[in-house]
Amino acid sequence: MNGTKAGTIVEAKMKYCISCGQEKPINDFLRRTGRRERPDSRRGTCKQCRQAGTAAGQYSEQTTVSVAHLPAPGRARWSRKKRQPILYVRPTHAINGSSLRADDLRPTWRGVVRMRGRSDTGRRWIQEVDLAQARQLVKEGAAIIINPYTIRMIYSGKEFRKFILARDHHTCHYCGEYGDTIDHLLPRAKGGYTTPVNCVCACLSCNQQKGNLTPEQFMQFLLEQHKEPHLK
Q: What is the pLDDT of residue 61?
A: 40
Confidence of residue 162 (pLDDT cuts 50, 70, 90): very high
Mean of the per-residue pLDDT values for the chain? 75
Give the model's pLDDT for residue 219. 86
With residue 217 as reference, give the H or E element that holds it: helix 215-231
Query: Is pLDDT above 80 for 232?
Result: no
* Distance from C-alpha of 161 to C-alpha of 25, rounded to nearest angstrom: 61
pTM: 0.55
Give the pLDDT confidence score for residue 38 in this predicted structure. Answer: 59
Higher-confidence residue: 84 or 212?
212
State yes or no: pLDDT of 53 exceeds 90: no
H or E element, residue 77: strand 75-78
Split at pLDDT 50, 70, 90, the class of 44 is low
Q: Has residue 96 got a pLDDT over 60? A: no
Q: For residues 45 and 62, what is the distance between their CA atoms, to the nearest angstrom?
A: 13
pLDDT of 63 over the 90 cut: no
- pLDDT of 25: 83
Enumerate the β-bridge partners of residue 202.
181
The answer on pLDDT for 118 being more than 90 is: yes
Residue 71: pLDDT over 90: no
**Cα(118)–Cα(217) distance, integer angstroms:** 35
* Of 67 and 229, the one with more pLDDT: 229
Distance CA 221, CA 49 (A): 72
Q: How many helical (H) and strand (E) elements, i.e. helices and strands, does the chain have?
A: 7, 12
On the question of pLDDT at 171 being above 70, the answer is: yes
User: What was the pLDDT predicted at 20?
Assistant: 78
Under the banding of pLDDT at 50, 70 and 90, the label for residue 77 is: very low
Residue 133 pLDDT greater than 90, yes or no: yes
Contact 20, 62 (CB under 8 A): yes
124-129: strand order across its sheet: 124-129, 113-118, 150-153, 143-147
pLDDT of amino acid 70:
43
pLDDT at 164 (0 to 100): 94
Q: Is the separation of the CB atoms in 115 and 134 below 8 Å?
A: yes
- What amino acid is encoded at 81 in this protein? K
CA atoms of 42 and 33, how far apart (whole Å)? 9
Nearest to 225 by CA among 173, 180, 179, 174: 174
pLDDT for 69 equals 46
DSSP tag of 184: E
Query: pLDDT category, 92, cuts 50, 70, 90?
Result: very low
